[in-house]
Amino acid sequence: MKLLRLPLRSLPKSTLRIDKRALKFIMKPCRIKVVPFYKGHSLKAMRTLFLVQGISLFLPLLLFSFVAVGQQVPVGPPSIPQYSDRPAARDTQKEDKDHKSEAAPAGAAVDSDTYKVGPSDVLMVSVWNEDKFTKQVVVQQNGKITMPLVGDIQAGDTTPKDIEVAVAKSLTKYVVKPLVTVTVLEVGSKKYYLDGLVNHPGEYPLAVPTTILEAISKAGGLQDFANKKKIYVLRGDKKIPFNYKEVINGKNMDQNIHLEPGDHINVP
């Protein structure tokens, strides 16, 4: 609540008169308390004084608001995401690595000097700097493999090293001093089988010489209720006994024989 004092003393008292109802009507919206006027004061003079006083009160506030608005930090327009029509750059190093891993798959754990290749074996024949002669082949039931332009080459009952020599000799008509590498990718001709109370029964490749005890270990060992004394190997029409308990204790080691392709180990 503000107190507004008007300069009434400068006016002659004889010309002033009090109009309380007019003052109440004019000043009520402004909520301003004033001092009563003398007689003879005109309504026009009152309104002029109120206007001057109101301008003097609100003009500084109005100027301050304009200054505050002018000092605000300007806000720029929102950023627009940039899109490009160019395709994303490819990771060539990763692609080369993947291509190399596909071009040179890992082979089976066989000895290239001693392992005898047989039917259903999967071989990788690689000729250096000659992609058209580099391919994956499967040994046929007649023991042969087929190469482009060369035809059939005998591979059954021979080692990978022997196959390299045979393929290189056949390619001399088309390639000068061919460098050939033969890798066994998968052994499909020599397998043995484990049945009964072992942890992982099933079919296993016979890529390297394996004994009965080694075969049981590869299958995760025997189960708890397996009969360790009554294990046997079926080889054709023969039944070869095997006492696991004796062999594990170092007794009668002669019964721990090497497996042959097609053997079935049965654990009751």
Q: Which of 192, 195, 196 is nearest to 204 (CA)?
A: 192
Fold of 191-267: Outer membrane lipoprotein wza fold like (3.10.560)
Tokens 């026009």 correspond to 44
- From the CB of residue 99, how many other CB atoms can be counted at a distance below 10 Å? 10
CB 201 within 8 A of CB 219: yes
What integer pLDDT is reported at residue 82 of this predicted model?
Answer: 59
CA separation for the pair 265, 237 (Å, rounded):
13
pLDDT digits (tens, 9 = 90+) for 9-46: 544 444 444 444 544 444 444 444 444 444 455 566 66
The CATH number of the structural domain formed by 104-186 is 3.30.1950.10
Q: Where are the domains of the chain?
A: 3-65, 104-186, 191-267
Q: What is the arrangement of strands in the sheet containing 191-196, beginning at the earlier edge strand?
A: 202-205, 191-196, 264-267, 231-235, 238-242
CA separation for the pair 187, 232 (Å, rounded):
25
Q: Mean of the pLDDT values across residues 181-202? A: 91
Q: Mean of the pLDDT values across residues 130-148? A: 91
Q: How confident is the model at residue 180 (pLDDT cuts 50, 70, 90)?
A: very high
pLDDT digits (tens, 9 = 90+) for 55-104: 666 666 666 565 555 555 555 555 555 555 555 555 545 544 444 444 44
What integer pLDDT is reported at residue 209 of this predicted model?
Answer: 87
Q: How confident is the prediction for the chain on average, in pLDDT? A: 76
CB 27 within 8 A of CB 35: no
Q: Mean of the pLDDT values across residues 210-229? A: 93
What integer pLDDT is reported at residue 104 of this predicted model?
Answer: 42
pLDDT > 90? residue 125: yes
Phi-psi region of 177 (alpha: psi -120 to 50; beta: other; left: phi over 0): left
Tokens of 171: 């390619």
